[in-house]
Chain A
Amino acid sequence: MNIIEAKNISFAYRVLNKHHTSLKTLVRDFLHGRISIEDYVAIKDLSFEINKGETVAIIGKNGAGKSTLLKILARVIKPTTGSISITGQVAPMIELGAGFNAELTGRENILFYSSLLDRDINRVKPRINEIIDWAGVADHLDYQLRTYSTGMVARLAFSIATDEIPDILLIDEVLSVSDGEFAIKSRQRLIEIINSGCTVIMVSHDLKTVAELAQKVIWIEKGEIKMVGLPTEVIAAYQASGS
Protein backbone atom coordinates (compact mmCIF):
# COMPACT_ATOMS: atom_id res chain seq x y z
CA MET A 1 0.00 0.00 0.00
CA ASN A 2 1.31 3.42 -0.89
CA ILE A 3 1.31 5.77 2.03
CA ILE A 4 2.76 8.58 -0.07
CA GLU A 5 2.12 9.05 -3.75
CA ALA A 6 3.59 12.00 -5.61
CA LYS A 7 2.64 12.63 -9.20
CA ASN A 8 4.64 15.17 -11.18
CA ILE A 9 5.02 17.57 -8.30
CA SER A 10 6.83 20.85 -8.79
CA PHE A 11 7.42 23.78 -6.56
CA ALA A 12 8.11 27.11 -8.17
CA TYR A 13 7.53 30.65 -7.16
CA ARG A 14 7.71 33.95 -8.91
CA VAL A 15 10.40 36.27 -7.72
CA LEU A 16 11.56 39.63 -8.86
CA ASN A 17 14.89 39.52 -10.63
CA LYS A 18 16.53 41.19 -7.67
CA HIS A 19 15.55 40.39 -4.14
CA HIS A 20 14.14 43.57 -2.69
CA THR A 21 14.14 43.48 1.05
CA SER A 22 12.72 46.95 1.43
CA LEU A 23 9.91 48.95 -0.08
CA LYS A 24 12.34 51.80 -0.68
CA THR A 25 14.57 49.85 -3.08
CA LEU A 26 11.53 48.28 -4.74
CA VAL A 27 10.01 51.67 -5.51
CA ARG A 28 13.37 53.04 -6.64
CA ASP A 29 14.06 50.15 -9.03
CA PHE A 30 10.49 50.23 -10.29
CA LEU A 31 10.87 53.89 -11.19
CA HIS A 32 14.08 53.10 -13.05
CA GLY A 33 12.42 50.24 -14.91
CA ARG A 34 14.83 47.71 -13.50
CA ILE A 35 12.28 45.17 -12.41
CA SER A 36 11.45 41.91 -14.08
CA ILE A 37 9.83 38.73 -12.87
CA GLU A 38 11.45 35.33 -12.89
CA ASP A 39 10.29 31.89 -11.93
CA TYR A 40 12.39 30.12 -9.40
CA VAL A 41 11.98 26.38 -9.62
CA ALA A 42 13.00 24.49 -6.49
CA ILE A 43 11.83 21.05 -7.60
CA LYS A 44 10.29 19.97 -10.87
CA ASP A 45 8.24 17.07 -12.02
CA LEU A 46 8.99 14.62 -9.24
CA SER A 47 7.05 11.38 -9.18
CA PHE A 48 7.60 8.68 -6.60
CA GLU A 49 5.82 6.31 -4.33
CA ILE A 50 6.59 5.30 -0.79
CA ASN A 51 5.12 2.17 0.72
CA LYS A 52 3.81 1.87 4.21
CA GLY A 53 6.57 0.81 6.59
CA GLU A 54 9.34 1.62 4.17
CA THR A 55 12.48 3.50 5.18
CA VAL A 56 13.48 5.90 2.46
CA ALA A 57 16.50 8.17 2.26
CA ILE A 58 16.70 11.27 0.11
CA ILE A 59 20.22 12.22 -0.96
CA GLY A 60 21.62 14.97 -3.10
CA LYS A 61 23.85 18.01 -3.00
CA ASN A 62 23.04 21.21 -1.14
CA GLY A 63 20.47 23.19 -3.09
CA ALA A 64 19.20 20.12 -4.94
CA GLY A 65 15.70 20.65 -3.55
CA LYS A 66 15.79 18.23 -0.62
CA SER A 67 14.52 20.74 1.94
CA THR A 68 11.72 21.85 -0.36
CA LEU A 69 10.66 18.24 -0.83
CA LEU A 70 10.80 17.69 2.90
CA LYS A 71 8.59 20.72 3.45
CA ILE A 72 6.06 19.31 1.02
CA LEU A 73 6.15 15.96 2.80
CA ALA A 74 5.69 17.73 6.14
CA ARG A 75 2.60 19.44 4.64
CA VAL A 76 4.15 22.84 5.33
CA ILE A 77 3.86 23.84 1.67
CA LYS A 78 1.79 22.50 -1.19
CA PRO A 79 3.33 21.74 -4.57
CA THR A 80 2.52 24.44 -7.12
CA THR A 81 1.68 21.83 -9.75
CA GLY A 82 1.12 18.10 -9.61
CA SER A 83 -0.52 16.19 -6.83
CA ILE A 84 0.63 14.45 -3.73
CA SER A 85 -1.35 12.27 -1.36
CA ILE A 86 -0.03 11.63 2.11
CA THR A 87 -2.00 9.27 4.34
CA GLY A 88 -1.75 9.55 8.08
CA GLN A 89 -0.03 11.65 10.71
CA VAL A 90 3.37 13.10 9.85
CA ALA A 91 5.87 13.93 12.57
CA PRO A 92 8.69 16.10 11.32
CA MET A 93 11.98 15.82 13.15
CA ILE A 94 13.66 18.64 11.32
CA GLU A 95 16.13 20.65 13.34
CA LEU A 96 15.80 19.35 16.88
CA GLY A 97 14.46 21.94 19.26
CA ALA A 98 12.88 24.29 16.72
CA GLY A 99 9.70 25.33 18.49
CA PHE A 100 11.18 25.22 21.95
CA ASN A 101 10.96 28.36 24.03
CA ALA A 102 14.00 29.03 26.20
CA GLU A 103 11.96 30.93 28.78
CA LEU A 104 9.61 28.02 29.44
CA THR A 105 10.44 25.14 31.76
CA GLY A 106 11.17 21.65 30.47
CA ARG A 107 7.67 20.53 31.42
CA GLU A 108 5.98 23.44 29.66
CA ASN A 109 8.11 22.85 26.59
CA ILE A 110 7.13 19.20 26.45
CA LEU A 111 3.47 20.17 26.33
CA PHE A 112 4.02 23.05 23.93
CA TYR A 113 6.17 21.07 21.50
CA SER A 114 3.73 18.14 21.57
CA SER A 115 0.92 20.55 20.85
CA LEU A 116 2.84 21.95 17.88
CA LEU A 117 3.11 18.39 16.57
CA ASP A 118 -0.70 18.24 16.69
CA ARG A 119 -0.87 15.91 19.64
CA ASP A 120 -3.48 15.92 22.39
CA ILE A 121 -1.66 17.30 25.45
CA ASN A 122 -3.99 15.48 27.81
CA ARG A 123 -2.50 12.28 26.46
CA VAL A 124 1.03 13.64 26.69
CA LYS A 125 0.77 14.65 30.37
CA PRO A 126 0.86 11.07 31.75
CA ARG A 127 3.86 10.38 29.50
CA ILE A 128 6.06 13.19 30.80
CA ASN A 129 8.06 10.95 33.14
CA GLU A 130 8.96 8.55 30.38
CA ILE A 131 9.92 11.39 28.07
CA ILE A 132 12.32 12.98 30.57
CA ASP A 133 13.74 9.63 31.68
CA TRP A 134 14.71 8.76 28.13
CA ALA A 135 16.18 12.21 27.59
CA GLY A 136 18.02 12.06 30.92
CA VAL A 137 16.76 15.46 32.06
CA ALA A 138 14.53 14.29 34.93
CA ASP A 139 16.25 16.56 37.47
CA HIS A 140 15.68 19.63 35.32
CA LEU A 141 12.00 19.20 34.52
CA ASP A 142 10.89 22.42 36.21
CA TYR A 143 13.84 24.58 35.25
CA GLN A 144 13.75 26.98 32.32
CA LEU A 145 15.09 25.57 29.10
CA ARG A 146 17.80 28.23 28.89
CA THR A 147 19.57 26.46 31.76
CA TYR A 148 19.83 23.27 29.67
CA SER A 149 22.93 22.28 27.74
CA THR A 150 22.70 21.89 23.96
CA GLY A 151 22.87 18.14 24.33
CA MET A 152 20.02 18.13 26.82
CA VAL A 153 17.83 20.19 24.49
CA ALA A 154 18.54 17.83 21.59
CA ARG A 155 17.79 14.76 23.68
CA LEU A 156 14.57 16.24 25.01
CA ALA A 157 13.41 17.20 21.51
CA PHE A 158 14.22 13.75 20.16
CA SER A 159 12.47 12.11 23.07
CA ILE A 160 9.29 14.15 22.57
CA ALA A 161 9.25 13.71 18.82
CA THR A 162 9.60 9.94 19.03
CA ASP A 163 7.41 9.42 22.09
CA GLU A 164 4.33 8.81 19.99
CA ILE A 165 5.13 6.77 16.92
CA PRO A 166 3.55 8.56 13.96
CA ASP A 167 2.51 7.04 10.64
CA ILE A 168 5.32 8.89 8.91
CA LEU A 169 8.49 10.21 10.51
CA LEU A 170 10.57 12.80 8.68
CA ILE A 171 14.18 13.16 9.74
CA ASP A 172 16.59 15.81 8.52
CA GLU A 173 20.23 15.27 9.43
CA VAL A 174 19.25 14.75 13.02
CA LEU A 175 21.58 11.96 13.92
CA SER A 176 24.71 13.43 12.48
CA VAL A 177 24.80 16.39 14.84
CA SER A 178 24.60 14.52 18.12
CA ASP A 179 27.36 13.45 20.49
CA GLY A 180 28.62 9.91 21.11
CA GLU A 181 26.33 8.35 23.67
CA PHE A 182 23.22 10.07 22.43
CA ALA A 183 24.03 9.11 18.84
CA ILE A 184 24.00 5.43 19.79
CA LYS A 185 20.87 5.77 21.88
CA SER A 186 18.95 7.71 19.27
CA ARG A 187 19.96 5.28 16.55
CA GLN A 188 18.62 2.42 18.64
CA ARG A 189 15.36 4.28 19.09
CA LEU A 190 15.22 4.92 15.39
CA ILE A 191 15.72 1.26 14.57
CA GLU A 192 12.92 0.41 17.02
CA ILE A 193 10.68 2.86 15.22
CA ILE A 194 11.61 1.45 11.81
CA ASN A 195 10.91 -2.06 13.03
CA SER A 196 7.56 -1.02 14.48
CA GLY A 197 6.23 -0.46 10.98
CA CYS A 198 6.49 3.31 10.86
CA THR A 199 7.32 4.87 7.51
CA VAL A 200 10.57 6.77 7.89
CA ILE A 201 11.88 9.33 5.42
CA MET A 202 15.28 10.79 6.06
CA VAL A 203 17.47 13.34 4.42
CA SER A 204 21.13 12.79 5.06
CA HIS A 205 24.63 13.44 3.85
CA ASP A 206 25.83 10.53 5.93
CA LEU A 207 25.90 7.80 3.29
CA LYS A 208 26.97 5.18 5.81
CA THR A 209 23.81 5.66 7.86
CA VAL A 210 21.75 5.72 4.68
CA ALA A 211 23.22 2.43 3.49
CA GLU A 212 22.60 0.91 6.87
CA LEU A 213 19.03 2.02 7.55
CA ALA A 214 17.29 2.73 4.26
CA GLN A 215 15.50 0.28 2.02
CA LYS A 216 15.16 2.73 -0.82
CA VAL A 217 17.12 5.79 -1.83
CA ILE A 218 15.92 8.75 -3.87
CA TRP A 219 18.71 10.81 -5.40
CA ILE A 220 17.77 14.35 -6.34
CA GLU A 221 19.83 16.70 -8.44
CA LYS A 222 18.88 20.22 -9.50
CA GLY A 223 15.30 19.67 -8.44
CA GLU A 224 14.83 16.50 -10.45
CA ILE A 225 15.00 12.83 -9.61
CA LYS A 226 18.24 11.40 -10.87
CA MET A 227 17.82 7.86 -9.63
CA VAL A 228 15.64 5.74 -7.37
CA GLY A 229 16.51 2.28 -6.16
CA LEU A 230 18.30 0.09 -3.69
CA PRO A 231 20.73 1.89 -1.38
CA THR A 232 23.85 0.10 -2.63
CA GLU A 233 23.14 0.87 -6.29
CA VAL A 234 22.11 4.50 -5.85
CA ILE A 235 24.92 5.30 -3.44
CA ALA A 236 27.47 3.75 -5.78
CA ALA A 237 26.18 5.80 -8.69
CA TYR A 238 26.04 8.93 -6.52
CA GLN A 239 29.63 8.50 -5.42
CA ALA A 240 30.73 7.69 -8.97
CA SER A 241 29.22 10.97 -10.17
CA GLY A 242 31.85 12.71 -8.06
CA SER A 243 29.53 14.25 -5.50
Chain B
Amino acid sequence: MRAKKVSLYSLTGFSKNNLQLLRLLIQQELTLRYKRSVIGIGWTLLNPMLTSFVLWIVFSFLFVGKLEAGQQFAPYLMAGVLLNAFFNQGLLQAANSIAANGGVLTKVSVPPRIFAFAASLAAFINFLIGLIPLAVVVYLSGQTFTIAFPLIFVIGLFMTFFTAGIGLALSVIFIRFEDAKNIVNVLLLILIYLTPIFYPIGILDDRMQQIVGFNPLTSFLDAFRWAFSDNATATWQDFLYLALVSITTFAIGNLFFKRRWSKTIAML
Protein backbone atom coordinates (compact mmCIF):
# COMPACT_ATOMS: atom_id res chain seq x y z
CA MET B 1 0.00 0.00 0.00
CA ARG B 2 1.29 3.40 -0.89
CA ALA B 3 1.33 5.82 2.00
CA LYS B 4 -0.29 9.13 1.24
CA LYS B 5 1.65 12.14 2.36
CA VAL B 6 -0.40 14.48 4.48
CA SER B 7 0.61 18.11 4.47
CA LEU B 8 -0.99 21.50 4.82
CA TYR B 9 -1.31 21.56 1.06
CA SER B 10 -2.96 18.18 0.68
CA LEU B 11 -5.38 18.94 3.51
CA THR B 12 -6.58 22.27 2.16
CA GLY B 13 -6.33 21.41 -1.51
CA PHE B 14 -4.11 24.45 -1.98
CA SER B 15 -0.67 24.37 -3.54
CA LYS B 16 2.27 26.36 -2.29
CA ASN B 17 1.71 28.78 -5.16
CA ASN B 18 -1.92 29.14 -4.10
CA LEU B 19 -0.76 30.45 -0.73
CA GLN B 20 1.26 33.11 -2.54
CA LEU B 21 -1.91 33.99 -4.42
CA LEU B 22 -3.80 34.23 -1.12
CA ARG B 23 -1.22 36.69 0.16
CA LEU B 24 -1.43 38.81 -3.00
CA LEU B 25 -5.23 38.84 -2.79
CA ILE B 26 -5.19 39.98 0.84
CA GLN B 27 -2.73 42.74 -0.05
CA GLN B 28 -5.01 43.86 -2.87
CA GLU B 29 -8.08 43.80 -0.69
CA LEU B 30 -6.35 45.95 1.94
CA THR B 31 -4.70 48.48 -0.35
CA LEU B 32 -7.04 48.84 -3.33
CA ARG B 33 -10.10 49.81 -1.35
CA TYR B 34 -8.75 53.25 -0.52
CA LYS B 35 -6.27 53.57 -3.35
CA ARG B 36 -7.88 56.66 -4.83
CA SER B 37 -8.32 58.49 -1.54
CA VAL B 38 -5.75 60.91 -0.21
CA ILE B 39 -5.19 59.36 3.18
CA GLY B 40 -5.28 55.82 1.82
CA ILE B 41 -5.23 53.09 4.42
CA GLY B 42 -5.71 55.73 7.13
CA TRP B 43 -9.41 55.28 6.49
CA THR B 44 -9.16 51.89 8.14
CA LEU B 45 -8.22 53.73 11.31
CA LEU B 46 -10.63 56.63 10.89
CA ASN B 47 -13.71 54.73 9.79
CA PRO B 48 -14.52 52.92 13.09
CA MET B 49 -13.63 56.05 15.04
CA LEU B 50 -16.05 58.23 13.08
CA THR B 51 -18.84 55.65 13.18
CA SER B 52 -18.36 55.15 16.90
CA PHE B 53 -18.25 58.87 17.50
CA VAL B 54 -21.59 59.41 15.78
CA LEU B 55 -23.20 56.54 17.67
CA TRP B 56 -21.65 57.79 20.89
CA ILE B 57 -23.18 61.22 20.45
CA VAL B 58 -26.58 59.67 19.78
CA PHE B 59 -26.63 56.95 22.42
CA SER B 60 -24.43 58.14 25.27
CA PHE B 61 -27.37 60.09 26.74
CA LEU B 62 -29.52 56.99 26.73
CA PHE B 63 -27.17 54.29 27.89
CA VAL B 64 -24.30 55.73 29.92
CA GLY B 65 -25.73 54.84 33.32
CA LYS B 66 -27.06 51.46 32.20
CA LEU B 67 -23.78 49.56 32.04
CA GLU B 68 -22.53 47.43 34.89
CA ALA B 69 -20.13 48.90 37.42
CA GLY B 70 -16.63 49.45 36.08
CA GLN B 71 -17.71 49.37 32.43
CA GLN B 72 -17.29 52.37 30.15
CA PHE B 73 -19.67 53.21 27.35
CA ALA B 74 -17.19 54.61 24.80
CA PRO B 75 -14.92 51.52 24.57
CA TYR B 76 -17.98 49.27 24.93
CA LEU B 77 -19.57 50.92 21.90
CA MET B 78 -16.43 51.03 19.81
CA ALA B 79 -15.67 47.35 20.41
CA GLY B 80 -19.16 46.62 19.14
CA VAL B 81 -18.69 48.77 16.04
CA LEU B 82 -15.34 47.16 15.25
CA LEU B 83 -16.52 43.59 15.60
CA ASN B 84 -19.70 44.27 13.65
CA ALA B 85 -17.65 45.82 10.84
CA PHE B 86 -15.42 42.73 10.84
CA PHE B 87 -18.45 40.45 10.60
CA ASN B 88 -20.25 42.45 7.92
CA GLN B 89 -17.22 43.15 5.81
CA GLY B 90 -15.80 39.64 6.04
CA LEU B 91 -19.12 38.03 5.24
CA LEU B 92 -20.23 40.26 2.37
CA GLN B 93 -16.82 40.55 0.73
CA ALA B 94 -16.38 36.79 0.90
CA ALA B 95 -19.87 36.28 -0.52
CA ASN B 96 -19.23 38.71 -3.39
CA SER B 97 -15.70 37.56 -4.10
CA ILE B 98 -16.69 34.52 -6.14
CA ALA B 99 -19.01 36.41 -8.49
CA ALA B 100 -16.54 39.29 -8.77
CA ASN B 101 -13.85 36.90 -9.95
CA GLY B 102 -16.13 34.83 -12.13
CA GLY B 103 -14.23 35.87 -15.24
CA VAL B 104 -11.07 34.28 -13.92
CA LEU B 105 -12.67 31.26 -12.31
CA THR B 106 -14.25 30.10 -15.57
CA LYS B 107 -10.91 30.18 -17.36
CA VAL B 108 -8.17 29.32 -14.94
CA SER B 109 -8.07 26.31 -12.68
CA VAL B 110 -7.62 27.98 -9.32
CA PRO B 111 -9.38 26.90 -6.10
CA PRO B 112 -12.29 29.38 -5.92
CA ARG B 113 -12.34 29.30 -2.12
CA ILE B 114 -9.06 31.25 -2.06
CA PHE B 115 -10.95 34.41 -3.03
CA ALA B 116 -13.40 34.04 -0.15
CA PHE B 117 -10.67 33.25 2.36
CA ALA B 118 -8.70 36.29 1.24
CA ALA B 119 -11.75 38.50 1.82
CA SER B 120 -12.37 37.18 5.34
CA LEU B 121 -8.68 37.39 6.26
CA ALA B 122 -8.51 40.97 4.97
CA ALA B 123 -11.45 41.84 7.22
CA PHE B 124 -9.55 40.26 10.12
CA ILE B 125 -6.50 42.42 9.40
CA ASN B 126 -8.67 45.54 9.15
CA PHE B 127 -10.12 44.59 12.52
CA LEU B 128 -6.63 44.29 14.00
CA ILE B 129 -5.74 47.74 12.67
CA GLY B 130 -8.93 49.06 14.26
CA LEU B 131 -7.69 47.87 17.66
CA ILE B 132 -5.23 50.77 17.69
CA PRO B 133 -7.88 53.53 17.99
CA LEU B 134 -9.83 51.28 20.35
CA ALA B 135 -6.77 51.07 22.60
CA VAL B 136 -6.63 54.86 22.64
CA VAL B 137 -10.29 55.08 23.63
CA VAL B 138 -9.79 52.48 26.37
CA TYR B 139 -6.87 54.47 27.69
CA LEU B 140 -8.76 57.77 27.60
CA SER B 141 -11.68 56.20 29.48
CA GLY B 142 -9.28 55.38 32.29
CA GLN B 143 -9.58 51.63 31.85
CA THR B 144 -6.72 49.16 31.86
CA PHE B 145 -5.99 46.31 29.50
CA THR B 146 -6.43 42.78 30.73
CA ILE B 147 -4.00 39.90 30.57
CA ALA B 148 -6.55 38.05 28.41
CA PHE B 149 -5.58 40.39 25.58
CA PRO B 150 -3.90 37.73 23.36
CA LEU B 151 -7.21 35.85 23.22
CA ILE B 152 -8.39 38.54 20.82
CA PHE B 153 -6.38 36.80 18.12
CA VAL B 154 -8.21 33.56 18.86
CA ILE B 155 -11.57 35.34 18.71
CA GLY B 156 -10.54 36.98 15.43
CA LEU B 157 -9.51 33.66 13.96
CA PHE B 158 -12.86 32.12 14.94
CA MET B 159 -14.64 35.08 13.36
CA THR B 160 -12.61 34.63 10.18
CA PHE B 161 -13.73 31.00 9.93
CA PHE B 162 -17.29 31.99 10.79
CA THR B 163 -17.54 34.69 8.11
CA ALA B 164 -15.71 32.62 5.47
CA GLY B 165 -18.14 29.74 6.05
CA ILE B 166 -21.28 31.86 5.72
CA GLY B 167 -19.71 33.88 2.89
CA LEU B 168 -18.93 30.77 0.85
CA ALA B 169 -22.48 29.45 1.21
CA LEU B 170 -23.94 32.84 0.28
CA SER B 171 -21.61 33.27 -2.67
CA VAL B 172 -23.24 30.49 -4.69
CA ILE B 173 -26.71 31.66 -3.67
CA PHE B 174 -25.90 35.23 -4.76
CA ILE B 175 -24.83 33.96 -8.18
CA ARG B 176 -27.98 31.89 -8.56
CA PHE B 177 -30.51 34.44 -7.36
CA GLU B 178 -30.00 38.11 -7.91
CA ASP B 179 -32.47 39.18 -5.24
CA ALA B 180 -30.87 37.06 -2.52
CA LYS B 181 -28.52 39.93 -1.74
CA ASN B 182 -31.40 42.20 -0.76
CA ILE B 183 -32.87 39.56 1.52
CA VAL B 184 -29.51 39.00 3.18
CA ASN B 185 -29.07 42.74 3.69
CA VAL B 186 -32.37 42.88 5.55
CA LEU B 187 -31.42 39.86 7.65
CA LEU B 188 -28.10 41.49 8.53
CA LEU B 189 -29.92 44.63 9.61
CA ILE B 190 -32.16 42.57 11.90
CA LEU B 191 -29.08 40.83 13.23
CA ILE B 192 -27.46 44.16 14.11
CA TYR B 193 -30.42 45.01 16.34
CA LEU B 194 -30.31 41.55 17.88
CA THR B 195 -26.71 42.12 18.89
CA PRO B 196 -25.79 44.38 21.80
CA ILE B 197 -23.56 46.61 19.69
CA PHE B 198 -24.66 50.01 20.91
CA TYR B 199 -27.00 49.10 23.77
CA PRO B 200 -26.21 47.31 27.03
CA ILE B 201 -27.89 43.92 27.17
CA GLY B 202 -29.22 44.82 30.61
CA ILE B 203 -31.84 47.19 29.17
CA LEU B 204 -33.75 44.29 27.60
CA ASP B 205 -36.40 42.23 29.34
CA ASP B 206 -35.68 38.58 30.18
CA ARG B 207 -37.26 37.10 27.07
CA MET B 208 -35.41 39.43 24.70
CA GLN B 209 -32.19 38.83 26.61
CA GLN B 210 -32.63 35.13 25.92
CA ILE B 211 -33.15 35.70 22.19
CA VAL B 212 -30.17 38.04 21.96
CA GLY B 213 -28.14 35.53 23.95
CA PHE B 214 -28.79 32.86 21.30
CA ASN B 215 -27.13 35.03 18.68
CA PRO B 216 -23.54 33.81 18.20
CA LEU B 217 -22.48 37.39 17.52
CA THR B 218 -23.42 38.26 21.09
CA SER B 219 -21.00 35.63 22.33
CA PHE B 220 -18.30 36.91 19.99
CA LEU B 221 -18.89 40.41 21.30
CA ASP B 222 -18.91 39.38 24.97
CA ALA B 223 -15.65 37.49 24.54
CA PHE B 224 -14.04 40.39 22.70
CA ARG B 225 -15.16 43.04 25.20
CA TRP B 226 -14.04 40.87 28.07
CA ALA B 227 -10.64 40.11 26.54
CA PHE B 228 -9.92 43.68 25.61
CA SER B 229 -10.88 45.73 28.61
CA ASP B 230 -13.31 43.96 30.92
CA ASN B 231 -16.45 45.55 29.49
CA ALA B 232 -18.32 42.25 29.55
CA THR B 233 -18.01 38.84 31.11
CA ALA B 234 -16.98 35.67 29.32
CA THR B 235 -15.92 32.24 30.50
CA TRP B 236 -14.13 29.31 28.93
CA GLN B 237 -17.53 27.88 28.01
CA ASP B 238 -18.10 30.90 25.79
CA PHE B 239 -14.85 30.20 23.99
CA LEU B 240 -15.75 26.56 23.54
CA TYR B 241 -19.11 27.63 22.13
CA LEU B 242 -17.41 30.06 19.72
CA ALA B 243 -14.97 27.38 18.58
CA LEU B 244 -17.83 24.97 17.93
CA VAL B 245 -20.00 27.53 16.13
CA SER B 246 -17.25 28.89 13.91
CA ILE B 247 -15.76 25.54 12.92
CA THR B 248 -19.17 23.99 12.26
CA THR B 249 -20.22 26.99 10.19
CA PHE B 250 -16.97 26.84 8.27
CA ALA B 251 -17.34 23.13 7.57
CA ILE B 252 -20.98 23.42 6.47
CA GLY B 253 -20.22 26.46 4.29
CA ASN B 254 -17.36 24.66 2.58
CA LEU B 255 -19.40 21.53 2.04
CA PHE B 256 -22.34 23.44 0.62
CA PHE B 257 -20.01 25.38 -1.66
CA LYS B 258 -18.29 22.23 -2.87
CA ARG B 259 -21.60 20.56 -3.68
CA ARG B 260 -23.00 23.53 -5.56
CA TRP B 261 -19.85 24.71 -7.30
CA SER B 262 -20.02 22.64 -10.49
CA LYS B 263 -23.54 23.93 -11.12
CA THR B 264 -22.68 27.46 -10.15
CA ILE B 265 -19.72 27.75 -12.46
CA ALA B 266 -21.95 26.97 -15.42
CA MET B 267 -23.81 30.18 -14.59
CA LEU B 268 -20.77 32.42 -14.37
Chain A residues engaging chain B, CB cutoff 8 angstroms: 13-14, 20-24, 26, 71, 74-78, 80, 90, 92, 94-95, 98-99, 101, 103-104, 111-112, 115-121
Give A74's nearest chain B residue, CB to CB.
B109
Cβ-defined contact, A111 with B108, below 8 A: no
Give the CA-CA distance A80 to B21 in the complex, in Å: 29
Pick from B15, B35, B262: contact of A77, CB below 8 A. B262
Q: Which B-chain residue is minimally distant from A120 (CB atoms)? A: B17
Are A116's CB and B20's CB within 8 A?
Answer: no
CB-defined A-B contacts under 8 Å, sample of 19: A23-B179, A24-B179, A74-B107, A74-B108, A80-B262, A90-B109, A92-B109, A94-B107, A95-B107, A98-B103, A99-B107, A99-B108, A101-B32, A115-B20, A115-B24, A116-B21, A118-B15, A118-B109, A121-B20
Q: A residues within 8 A CB of B21? A: 112, 115-116
Report whether A116 and B177 are in contact in the complex, using a CB–CB cutoff of 8 Å: no
Question: Inside 8 A of B178's CB, which chain A residues have their CB?
Answer: 21-22
B104 neighbours in A (Cβ, 8 Å):
98-99, 116
A-B complex: 6 closest residue pairs judged by Cβ atoms:
A75-B109, A22-B179, A115-B21, A99-B104, A94-B107, A23-B177
Name B101's closest neighbour in chain A (CB-CB).
A99
B interface size (C-beta, 8 A) = 27
Complex interface: chain A residues within 8 A of B108 (CB):
74, 76, 92, 98-99, 116-117
State A78–B32 Cα separation when bound (angstroms). Answer: 34
Which of A14, A78, A92, A111 is within 8 Å of B107, CB to CB? A92
Q: Give A23 to B108 CA distance when docked, in angstroms.
A: 30
Q: How many angstroms between the C-alpha atoms of A40 and B21 in the bound complex?
A: 34
Q: Does B16 contact A (CB under 8 A)?
A: yes
- Once the chains are docked, how many angstroms separate the CA of A74 from the CA of B265? 13
